[in-house]
Structure 1
Amino acid sequence: MTDETAASLGDEVLDRMLRGGLPRGQATLVRGGPGTGKSTLSMQFLDAGVQADERCLYVTTEQTLDDVADSFAAFPFALDDDRLDVLSLHATPGVTLEDPEGDDDAMTLQRLDDDAAVGGTMSFGEYTRELTPATLREEFQRYEDYDRVVVDSANGIAGFTDTHTYRRVLLDVIATLTDRGDATLVFTAEEGGDDSVGDLLQYAVHGVVSLTRDRIREDNHRFVEIAKLRGVDHDTRRLELHIDAERGARAVPGRRSQPPAVKTHGHRPIGIDGFDRLVGGGVVAGAGVLFEHDGTANVSTFLGSFLDAALARGDRLAVVPTIHLRPHGLETILSGFGHDVGALLADGRLHVVDLIGTWDADRDGVHAPSSGEGVREAFGAIRPDDAGDDDTALTSIVNADAYVNALSAEEARELRYYEESQLVRPTDTLVHVHNPGTAADEVTAFLENTAEQVIETWLSDTGLQYVHLRKSPCGFVGTTSLVEYLETEPYVAVQGPPSDRENPMAAESYPDEYPSGG
């Protein structure tokens, strides 16, 4: 979205999560428990409007004007600017203008208006009217000329009628301010309780920003998440929300991965656009990649894409077969991409290091070691030390579970160190395939620790497959994407991460010794 269609929240990262800011002319709910930052974030939204020369209104339903002034005194908000009006609007029991002798328990609408600045003259301090749907609608019609309006909070005017009528009134308020007045409207609401105001509002508004507090190792942390934003490909990840007097409310981290200048690797795209974007342009090169699965998710098609992309680059292939890459399986996968396994083996472009005994050891390019030392000898034959000017990159797909089950955990660790220290060059690709459910926890922890990039895929209880980037020096770390299978190449599609690039991608430059791309 552009400045014409989005209203900034006053924080670069939050605006990026929202694709520019809150949608103009629409209503957004900011909901959360006590102390999560609802009021601060809302006032910051108005302050950003003031800086953009927009007319802004802050309506508090729970504080006096002096309370508002005290609450925000420490922040760099322009509270005394003529473009910001502050109103205290309370729904409280009391005597009404319409019936001065009436019941003291009648709900009344009381307005305290500073007419321009916080702490000014309360020129409407005696104004009370019976609080009804009609008077509340009439009150909000007064605000339709503002560019930005905050109602903090919707809970403060919720107790005057039944749930159905209150929801109808909220819809009328939204229509009055956004349709008739074209204002960008923010409601705040507390979490919790049956039929809570937040629950009522979340279905009526265009967007929902959720604020929470969680304990991280005994320390309290605030979090922000864009729970809903109609028609916008927004960032769905949860970030921390930091609040301080100097900068107000800001989402962190702005970047979850290292900048290219400090990286020691490149990356290799595999031809699945959503996947390549998710992991930052492709799997890392020159270091280990761990591809974890749950034993039920389809892995073969991803492996086929890894191998097809490597062949397109001119790489030599080494495969330590998984159960998915037995002879018939590998032949079927590669033939789907237009490759002939027999020809690749005969030409020396494909090598199989078979630890599970499913390949004919007499075939060209097939190695059948029975020990860790035999595996090292096989890789030594695939890429001999005396290869001279042969700088062909090597892509290896390794069944890490075969290392552990056919050999031992200790030999598997030694082979992993060998790969990293002696086998892998900066232009190589090394992918370990592992099912954590088949190995001891310490084995999985070791594989994850030694990998530069950890990618997970699994099948949910509903039968949907997902892929998640758990660890990586580049890409959208922490993002989960849906997997869909196709009738044509590359036979699989992965839901793209948020379209606004915030992490290293293939287009960003890398040190010359660690080239990237296809």
Structure 2
Amino acid sequence: MAKNKKATVASTGILGLDEILRGGLPASNLYILQGAPGSGKTTAALQFLRAGLENGESCIYVSLSQTAAELNAIATSHGWSLDGIRIEELSASDAVNSAADQTIFQTAELRLDETRRAIEAAIEEHKPDRLVYDSLLEIRLITGDTPRFRRELLGFKAFLAKRNVVALLLDTQTSGPDRNGEEVEGIAHGVIRFDKSLEEYGSVRRRVEVSKMRGVPVADGYHDMAIREREGVVVFPRLVPGAASETVKPQLIKSGVDALDEMFGGGQESGTTTLVIGQSGTGKSTMSSLYATAALKRGESVALFLFEERLETFFRRSEGLGMDLRQFHRDGQLIIHDFNPNEISPGEFGQIVQRVVEENKTRVVVIDSFTGYLNSLPHREKAVRDIQTLLKYLARAGVLTMLIVAQHGLLGQNLGIDVDVSFLGDTVLLLRIVEHDGRLRRNITVVKKRHGPHDLDVRELFIQSSGVTVVPYNPLPET
């Protein structure tokens, strides 16, 4: 492929990161990628060079810290090839000529000069369009003090600018009060930070922040990311509620059970969120299956996100109530994602939901259970804010969203989470089990509905193999 010299931005090779950067890195500039060891810097750097190679550009990886064998091992772990990428192995400690080896003292200035000359010679010989420099830590150790390090970096920046090279410099950061890297941020055109943290349980949490990017209105703040086999670094930009691709005219969404629709004043509105709250065994998941089945029969697309119930359990329970959903799933009209909640971040979940809604014009989304999703996350109060953004996006896309929220115990009244989620619901459907004279009865009540009138009466809910029935509640006579 011919070189694309007219490109105004250089793709990072990471779709989510390019989205945050509004297309990629502005061309012919110097950028810093900071992060702790193991945060994904080298993997991202290889993706950056591979993207350039696909665009017909000349690419060099200058390594002061890793061997070519190590870089190839990283690439092989993802099923990649580095063919076409020039790897220049240098040693900041040994990059001195034979004359220097015969001197009594090998000064820092001598080692630095020789290292610089070796890097510049490689650039002059191969004339790269893209360059990765790994890493600044070695140069920082040679220079020994901040002013000298800054002068060295400024000189290297000027050298690259004259040759129109897009350079990505990797900088290993330490945590705490001795964290380094601040001295380079004013020199670079842009600074990207990879963050890695280990929570009390679950997998490592990774995030990315574009802390600086001159001339680009980036989506600032942290965005979730992950390192995946054969994919490399994957970034999940935070959702923007206004990003819904269309404005859908509100419409009533019915359940297929007339008495239940009457409780909602004729049905539920599209573009709203319904919390289905109740103890175990009250029929929360059955309510979601009911609305899903009705929407599917109308020819609409439905998305179901499972965090507790297994897929086969969901199908069998629905079939036990006369709702056969397997064929809809096989036909692609019913989209189901069965998650291990410990292995998904709020950012990734939001991206999956957004993609499903946009690709399939989904009109009903069910999260079952929202309690299980929140309980799997170390910072549940932050996850609630993330889900609030997602719900705003779904509302503007005209989606009816149903969140299944469990309560403690069989007969308990407290929610199974220690954060308040009641404000998330435009509508709240409360399901309860009450005991009277040795018999358990399921009650159903619409306790909140922001849009339009609703029935405040308590009704009785029957869940049988023939289907779901809602009838007026008649107290049993006293004995």
Could you state the TM-score of these two structures normalised by the residue count of structure 2? 0.48
Larger radius of gyration: 1
